[in-house]
Structure 1
Amino acid sequence: YDLAQRSPEYVAALAENHVGGHLSVAPEHVSARVLDKMKKPGIASYERFKEMFSCASKEAGKQQYEIPYFISGHPGCDMSDMVELALWLKREGYRPRQVQDFIPTPMSIASAMYWTGIDPLTMEPVYVARGLKEKRLQKSLLLYWNPEWWEDAREALQVAGRRDLIGRGPECLVPPPGDPRERQASPGR
């Protein structure tokens, strides 16, 4: 999406001829610190592409949507970064149903960071979420809207020092314990 912005003609052709209703796009995160480790542009770049694609789709007479893809547990991502992402998702009205936790793959800079805890390009230490529990808690913040994940999301918010986001106010991500919707939800993990 970042390169597509250099050519409005490309985005117009994409919207008119190559999308069948939904376009998957991978901003992957919103935290500048995490995006830097991913070697991706800031979230504003994705937001500009989203607007370009929306306008191009309207001009083509099509009702099309982009589906953003996000990831948890990427090297460099801590709980505060996931809170930032969850707040952005809420503000933008996104409720992802399928989310991906980082999986190291051979021959990638991200995997080198995962295994060593060092950014090989800067030789600086990089935070890495390694335990299954922390990975689950990070993932729960992507799914903050789903009652099946509220218990974990509350724990993640507490770990991040963001108890202020647990409650019933419009800025809150999850309700306090005891919400009747939580009892009705089946375990989803």
Structure 2
Amino acid sequence: MKNISPLNRILVFIAAALMISAYFTPLWQISLWAPQYPEGLNMKIWIDRLSGDVEIINGVNHYIGMKHIGVEMFPEFTYLIYVFGVIIAFGFLAVLLAKRWAAYSFFAMIAILGVGVLVDMYLWGYDYGHNLDPTAAIKVPGMAYQPPLLGYKELLNFLAYSGPDTGGWILGVSGLLMAIVVLTEFRKK
């Protein structure tokens, strides 16, 4: 069982430490702009809550039959803090062990978390944008209102954006650092 290099050990430590930011910064954001909201409406998704213009967005979405957005529709908020905690703790353990298998495992955990969160967000967005109240005031036949997973999308007279917020970008840096560690260690084999 080979040890990782001292530099890669430092990178693993930085990657694990950066992940702590998930507890203090918003991870994702969804923004909407329309003629009646030129300044935009913004919803921030944290590890355990929502913030921003959530109630105004709920008011607008009510007219087209979308569900009420609330913390209760995200069971993930009850366990994500623990999932992140386990991954961060394993990252620090990987630093102490300084073994390749531990660094590879830490990278795999980050990658699985990232893919899992994106799949979960896609499924939530699909359900949210397709399962509309049939008694809604505004109906456009054949129209779905699924927000974009990443990037921009026009929804009626709204331009919607979805993407990483501060915490999401920091987590991306953690993943990138771990990808560098894995690639450099794999090349040493």
Shared fold (TM-score, shorter chain, > 0.5): no
Larger helix share, 1 or 2: 2
Q: State the TM-score, normalized to the length of structure 1.
A: 0.27
**Greater RCO (CA < 8 Å, at least 6 residues apart):** 2
Task: Pick the structure with more strand per residue.
Answer: 2
Taking structure 2 as the reference length, the TM-score comes to: 0.27
